[in-house]
Structure 1
Amino acid sequence: MVPAYLIGHIVVKDPLKWAEYCSKVPATVAAWGATLVFRGAHAQVLAGDHAFTDTVVIRFPSRAALNDWHESAAYQAIVPIRLQAADVVIISYDEQ
């Protein structure tokens, strides 16, 4: 299996809602064998334009696991919180 990564670029609109959402995500990814690689706020843009303030990287054992998690009832149940909390761009990458 080739690992896949979810990268989320984030602009937080409501810090309390964002904290609520972040507290619920780990329970949704655990069943898919995923691990949090990194979550943080950018310190400095070194080149180009980057409008986002925060980034998250989550490693999944495969693209199928990532896609299945994203479509799972557990994750979809917290999507409305995410939509209220932040503007988020979610991208998936396969490891090469």
Structure 2
Amino acid sequence: MTAFFVSRIKVKDPAKMQDYAAATGPTIAGHKGALVLRGRAVQTLIGEDAGLHMTSVVQFPDIEALTAWFNSPEYQQHAGLRDEAGDMQFVVYQDPSA
């Protein structure tokens, strides 16, 4: 089943956020992932205001590929930069959902 990695990021340091994205983006393709969306929130239409944040969605062929990417040394070596760049929430979704 297709798996999606969804990140919601409150950027703390824009320069470090750019460095993080540049460093980690190439690690995705090695695990058969593809960036579907990366953008800033523009407005909240319903519910509590989501505030200023960025969201990205990455598609992987399955949960195993997503997990292998997230746990890979190539990605995890950037954990310190990730934490300096912003406050992040990562959620995994599957399609079709069980």
Q: What TM-score range do you get, normalising by the shorter chain?
A: over 0.9
2:86 matched to which residue of 1? 86
Match of 2:23 in 1: 24
When normalised by structure 2's length, the TM-score is 0.93
For residues 27-42 of structure 1, what are the structure 2 equivalents within 5 Å? 27-42=26-41
Aligned Cα RMSD in Å? Answer: 0.9
Instruction: List per-residue Cα deviations over 1:12-61 (Å, max 9, x = no partner).
Output: 00000000000012211111100000000011101112245110000001
Matched residues, number? 95
Q: Secondary structure at the match of 2:45?
A: coil
Aligned residue type for 1:20:
D
SS in 2 for 1:36: strand
**CA gap 1:55/1:72 in 2 versus in 1, 3 angstroms:** same
List gaps (5 residues or longer) in structure 1. Answer: none
1:43 — aligned with what? 42
User: Structure 1: which 4+ aligned runs deviate by more than 3 Å?
Assistant: none
Letter in 2 for 1:94: Q
Identity across matched positions, percent: 33
Q: Which amino acid in 2 is paired with 1:11?
A: K
SS of 2:20 mapped into structure 1: helix
Structure 2 CA distance for aligned equivalents of residues 83 and 52 of structure 1: 18
Structure 2 counterpart of 1:14: 13
TM-score, with normalisation over the residues of structure 1? 0.95
